[in-house]
Amino acid sequence: MHAITASALTKRYGRTAAVDAVSFAVTPGEIVGFLGPNGAGKTTTLRMLAGLIRPSSGEGRVLGSRVPGPGLREVGTMIEEPSFYPYMTGRDNLRHAALLHGGVEAARIDELLEFVKMDDAARKRVKAYSQGMRQRLALARALLWRPKVLLLDEPTNGLDPVGIAEIRENLRAVAKGGVTILVSSHILGEIEKLVDRILAIEKGRLVFDGPLDRLVARLDASAVRYALRATDGPALLDALRGLGLQPELAGDDGALVDVDLERADDLVRELVHAGVTVTEARRHEDDLEDAYLRLVQADARPS
Ligand code: ATP
């Protein structure tokens, strides 16, 4: 039995499909990163899986049962801006959530507050919390009833690097306990250290489903970004455009350009042939994120 299944899950708003026939299955205990730029359809997919909105067609299943259904009692969610009662303390907010769900022992609240490093702050009212504190409290709330599945929408949104690392550590510890986690992000770098597998979504469609290392290999092979300099910057740009490329200006005499791997070796020769004096040509220290964005943009282009 899969922990989470999406079968041709679709959500339309008017004529546009925010999520378009997305299918995937997550095995118990997996940590899967749900990656996509803003507006790609991550939140909408997670909302459908959490039973917060109905799909236009297709279905979501959690722990074998169709959503909405009994499986949802075993799910912890953190979707969109966490909402709390602002005039209640963090601890009282957790108590209230525990009461609503039922079956949560009192000691669990202390244990979780300590786990997310909120034991002191839990005495303060939530209205005085920073975004980072709210995110931590939301994670504690999602874990109250020892869920078997966690659906997390950008849980590190708005956090500083220390906060991001702490949430990542928390999630790793939770996953060690066998919890299945589907966690969305629009930044690959934020989840690459946490997940084993990536689902990438772009314009409502799934464009990649596979292990992180395969995504990285595919990104490496997709295109090479070159940083070039020449004695005459404008001539360099003209020559690159003349070769059918789309360079970006980099300083007065430089350019950045994406080239297919097969063509990369010949690029400088082609430029020299076009009369440009190239003074520097090196592969740009391209981070994974840029390459990922180029990949999803290429895949989402209508063919
Ligand atoms: P973000 O990272 O910005 O939250 P996302 O990947 O989570 O992005 P969604 O929030 O799922 O993306 O939105 C996907 C698309 O669906 C967007 O174009 C959005 O404008 C549209 N959309 C989402 N909810 C609604 C709604 N209630 N009515 C109309 N359009 C909507």
83-112 confidence digits (pLDDT tens): 899 999 999 999 999 999 888 898 999 999
Q: How far is the CA of 188 from the centre of ligand 1 (A)?
A: 19
Q: Are residues 15 and 73 located together in one domain of the fold? A: yes
Is residue 294 packed enough to be buried (19+ CB in 10 Å), middle (13-18) or exposed (0-12)?
middle
Residue with CA closest to ligand 1 atom 25 = 13
Q: What is the pLDDT of residue 144?
A: 95
Long-range contacts of 154-159 (CB under 8 A, 24+ apart): 154/42, 154/184, 154/185, 154/186, 155/78, 155/183, 156/185, 156/190, 157/131, 158/131, 158/132, 159/131, 159/132, 159/135
Alpha carbons within 13 A on the beta-carbon side of 77 = 20
Q: How far apart are CA 186 and CA 168, in angstroms?
A: 15
Give me the domain span that covers residue 266.
Answer: 219-284
Residue type at 166?
E
Count, residues in the chain: 303
Rg of the chain, C-alpha, whole Å:
23
pLDDT band at 221 (very low <50, low <70, confident <90, very high): low
Q: Of 196, 216, 236, which one is at a domain's C-terminal end? A: 216
Residue with CA closest to ligand 1 atom 30 = 13
Q: Are residues 234 and 120 located together in one domain of the fold? A: no
Helix, strand, or coil here: 3? Answer: coil
Q: How far is the CA of 39 from the centre of ligand 1 (A)?
A: 5
Atom of ligand 1 nearest to the CA of 45: 11
- Is 300 within the bounds of a domain? no
> In the chain, what percentage of residues exceed pLDDT 70?
91
Residue with CA closest to ligand 1 atom 9 = 41
Atom of ligand 1 nearest to the CA of 47: 11
Please say if the pLDDT value at position 21 is more than 50: yes
Ligand 1 binding pocket (C-beta < 6 A) is: 13, 18, 36, 38-44, 186
Q: Of 198, 216, 234, which one is at a domain's C-terminal end? A: 216
Q: Are residues 51 and 150 located together in one domain of the fold? A: yes
Q: Are residues 248 and 202 located together in one domain of the fold? A: no
CATH of the domain at 163: 3.40.50.300
264-286 in b/e form (b: 16+ CB < 10 A) is: beebeeebeeeebebeeeeeeeb
Q: How far is the CA of 223 from the centre of ligand 1 (A)?
A: 29
Q: Are residues 196 and 158 located together in one domain of the fold? A: yes
Ligand 1 pocket test, pick from 11, 44, 201 with the greatest ligand atom count within 8 Å of Cβ, gives 44
- Is 96 within the bounds of a domain? yes
Q: Are residues 93 and 170 located together in one domain of the fold? A: yes
**Domains identified in the chain, total number:** 2
Neighbouring residues of 130: CB distance < 8 A, sequence distance ≥ 6: none
Q: What is the pLDDT of residue 223?
A: 67
Q: What is the pLDDT of residue 285?
A: 58
Q: Are residues 140 and 279 located together in one domain of the fold? A: no
Average pLDDT estimate for 47-57: 96
Q: Across the chain, what does the average pLDDT equal?
A: 88
- Is 247 within the bounds of a domain? yes
- Is 303 within the bounds of a domain? no
Atom of ligand 1 nearest to the CA of 201: 6
Ligand 1 pocket test, pick from 43, 52, 79 with the greatest ligand atom count within 8 Å of Cβ, gives 43
Which of 210, 234, 224 shows the shortest CA–CA distance to 291?
224
Atom of ligand 1 nearest to the CA of 153: 7
CATH of the domain at 235: 3.30.70.100
Please say if the pLDDT value at position 196 is more than 70: yes
- Is 295 within the bounds of a domain? no
Neighbouring residues of 136: CB distance < 8 A, sequence distance ≥ 6: 116, 117, 118, 166, 167
Residue with CA closest to ligand 1 atom 16 = 18
Q: What is the pLDDT of residue 193?
A: 82
